[in-house]
Amino acid sequence: MAALKGYGFCAMDSALQFPCPRRFSGYKRGSSKWVSPKAAVVPNFHLPMRSLEVKNRTNTDDIKALRVITAIKTPYLPDGRFDLEAYDDLVNIQIQNGAEGVIVGGTTGEGQLMSWDEHIMLIGHTVNCFGGSIKVIGNTGSNSTREAIHATEQGFAVGMHAALHINPYYGKTSIEGLIAHFQSVLHMGPTIIYNVPGRTGQDIPPHAIFKLSQNPNLAGVKECVGNKRVEEYTEKGIVVWSGNDDECHDSRWDYGATGVISVTSNLVPGLMRKLMFEGRNSSLNAKLLPLMDWLFHEPNPIGINTALAQLGVARPVFRLPYVPLPLSKRLEFVRMVKEIGREHFVGERDVQALDDDDFILIGRY
């Protein structure tokens, strides 16, 4: 690597070519006048991945073709640890009912409540058990670029097929900084960018996506702004998945979306596949809209956690700050299951309205 202009490299660091701190002087040679130094932009020092790993990496086009991707729920044991037995059952149900991909550790899977060790372990577990039957997309995004880089390196190292990345939230950056953040991870492998201003507080504008789409690793965008934005991208050949279950039918059949990244498919994967694969079906969409509205009555994943507990496929264990929906909403869910048909929902037990005392809320785990 060539030396940065105006600076040298330490001889002791010649193997790694790290810039030498003692040479970062603010004084011009032969002059005592102070000159503000230019920022030293040091290229990423990522270790090269093994060639075999790169060759076995999923082709971005394989990710672009997915129509039904489930943002999979993470179930817990009573002490708050992962319930991998229940998790495996949930993923198997998705595979059996035609889901083509799962988002591991997303908002629905409560990646925000996981340590990075838990997060990468769950991605690796999913790949190890199911990677040959379904595409595993790890949510390795962060509002810290350093964390996003490290987690994405680890995610691809354990075999995930693609990464999901969100724009930096809370400590928001400029649009230029946002683009630089995504560019720091795009080179690692197939990537889906997730735009959900309601959670991040910042919209990813189309001109940023257009610039990022020049990278062949951009598989597409999970878009939550609405179908007009979806159309803006699809008209230019950018793959989009609807991030809003209640809009995904129209997004798919009227606005050119490839499919949906869905919460509702945790409950009725077969019906969501039908909605995405079998042509326009306004009656089925209308039948599912009340369920979708119910799921998002409170912020996700509160609704899906409550529903899966009442269906008996996940223990009624919540990691705080999430708490179950109130009894009135739990009773409403029982009625909806019966109206739509219990046979369409995951699990085999009869749906039941759980009492408040049935739930376990955990703050330390």
Q: Which of 194, 233, 255, 287 is catalytic?
A: 194
Neighbour tally for 328: CB within 10 Å = 8
**What are the distances in angstroms from CA 58 to CA 61, 170, 185, 216, 300?**
8, 32, 16, 13, 30
**Closest of 188, 163, 186 to residue 104, by C-alpha:** 163
Report d(CA 205, CA 313) in Å as an integer: 39
Q: Which of 73, 76, 135, 222 is catalytic?
A: 222
**Closest of 89, 121, 122, 90 to residue 104, by C-alpha:** 122
Neighbour tally for 61: CB within 10 Å = 11
Strands 135-139, 162-166: pairing kind: parallel
CB 19 within 8 A of CB 35: no
CA dihedral 299, 300, 304, 306 (to 10 degrees): -40
The first and second tokens of residue 340, run together, are 């739509």
The first and second tokens of residue 292, run together, are 């979708």
CB 148 within 8 A of CB 184: yes
**Closest of 269, 267, 278 to residue 336, by C-alpha:** 267
Residues 103-122 as b or e (16 or more Cβ within 10 Å = b): bbbbbbbbbebbeeebbbbb
Q: Is 329 a catalytic residue?
A: no
Q: Is 322 a catalytic residue?
A: no
Query: 50 exposed, middle or buried (CB, 10 Å; 0-12, 13-18, 19+)?
Result: exposed
Catalytic residues: 194, 222
